[in-house]
Structures are given as structure tokens and as C-alpha cells.
Amino acid sequence: MRERLSQNPLGVMQGRLLPKYRGRYQAHPVGSWQDEFPLAAELGLDCIEFILDFESAELDPLLSVDGRKLILNLVKENEVQVLSVCADYFMDAPLQSEDKINAKRSAEMLDQLIEISPEIGIKNIVIPCVDKSRLTNSDQHARLIYALSKSAERAEMNEVNLALETDLAPEDFLTLLQKVGSSSITVNYDMGNSASNGFDPVAEFGAYGEMISDFHVKDRLFRGGSVMLGDGDAQPNLVLQLLDGLNYRGPIIMQVFRDDDGYASFRPQYEVFLNYLKSYK
């Protein structure tokens, strides 16, 4: 498979190569994010998926002119790109919020991200609709569809995907995508989250596989948390086979289990994943 997927950018979720920021499992590492670029380059990774948090948005380099210049300098120096951003911002401030003022602010943040994406080279903005921002009723579905429909044309013009991450069953997720009805609204596929939800990858790919534009590598136990890659209920070989069958050419992002150090737990899982790629027949 490595030969067939050799064109796919292989990257890391921001912060996975660094110590935890303020003890948080996943967060934009304020003050040390620059240090991850040479570490990624040393490992032979192609890209870093940035994180935009709600609580530290004003400190994120993505949202300032000088910050974006620094990102581009690091990209050039290390030959490590930023092709995607995981907008965890929308977990704390969902686009489908019932509060109209909050929803409007979130929509404005999404449009800002869309506008700056071409400057950095970002092709995917991942919008999480899980955990605190999961979709639990028809009203939330309707508000999300409305918000995405308003931003879809802007996304198309800027050639950026709005990749949704949800815990919806395959057919329900497909229905949501069809109701928005835009080629710019795509899927972030997280194989660990799907395993935790007990979803069948074959059914998922059958429903919306061709809409996947961003892929997260993770392992989780069924109805449980993240574990070291290979120790959980994800099915990497099957998922890779399905991706290959669709001629997937988007980024492959390592969002694997982490310890306090980050790098120490990432390195062995990276080797495991490379072996999955090499051993696929």
C-alpha cells in the first residue's frame, strides 16, 4: 500500500510531538508550537494539522498576519506543511448553538478561517461535532445545516473543505451531508472514534467514503478511550484497504494516544503505522 499511497501527505496532530500544554490531552501548544516543525521533519513527516482552540484563539498564529508569516517561514525551513486545521474552537462554540449571538460569532470565525486558508495552504478545516458539540436533536441538525450552507460557497471559492467529524451512524451522517448539498462539505474520518462507537467501516465507507477528505489515525476501545495503536478495536488494515480502494489522496494525520511527554508515545506508534502500510497486501 505504501507504493499506492505514496502521494498522501503523512502528518501529525499538533502537539503530539511535544509535552502536554497545561496538562491538556489535545490543545494548541501556546509558546512552543514552533518547536514541533523540526521534530516532524526529523521523523520524515510531511505536515502538521494545526489546532484552533476557543480559549486561546487570540494567541493562535493562524489568526494574525505576523503569525501566518512565521508559519510560512517554518514551513519553508523544515519542508513540513500545514494542510489542515482541527477547529476544536467549535466544540466550545458550536455552529449549531441555540444562542444566536454565539452562533453568529462562530460563523464569523469559520469564515475567517476559510479566507486565510489559501494563504497558508490549508485544504481542510475539520469541524468537530462530537463530545460537547455532538448533534443530539433535529433542531441542532437544522441549525448546523443552515450555518454550513451559508459558508459553503465561500469555502468552494477558496478551495477548502469543511470536513465534518461526527458520531452519527453512517446513514444519518450521509443524510446530513446531502441536506447541505455542497462539494465543499466533506468528511473527517477518525478510525478510533468509529471503533469506539462500534461502527462498521465497510458501512461507513459505503455511505460516504468518497466524501472523506481528512483521515485521523487513532485506536480506541469499543465504548472506551484512546489506547496505543494496535491495542484497541480499530481495524487499520481494513480501513487502509477501503481508503486505497477509493484512491484516497488526502492527508493521513496521526492523532494517536499520547502521554505527558508526547514524543515518547508517538514514536513507537508511528513505526507501527508504517508497518501497517508496508504489510498491506
Cα–Cα distances (Å) from 222 to 192, 230, 246, in that order, read: 9, 13, 26
Element (H, E) at 164: strand 161-166
Say whether 124 sits in a helix, a strand or coil. Answer: strand
Cβ partners under 8 Å of residue 137, min gap 6: none
Domains of the chain (ranges, CATH numbers): 10-279 (3.20.20.150)
pLDDT tens for each residue of 102-149: 999 999 999 999 999 999 999 999 999 999 999 999 999 999 999 999
pLDDT tens for each residue of 146-191: 999 999 999 999 999 999 999 999 999 999 999 999 999 999 999 9
Paired with 50 in beta bridges are 85
Confidence of residue 4 (pLDDT cuts 50, 70, 90): low
The total number of residues written for the chain in this structure: 281
CB 234 within 8 A of CB 276: no
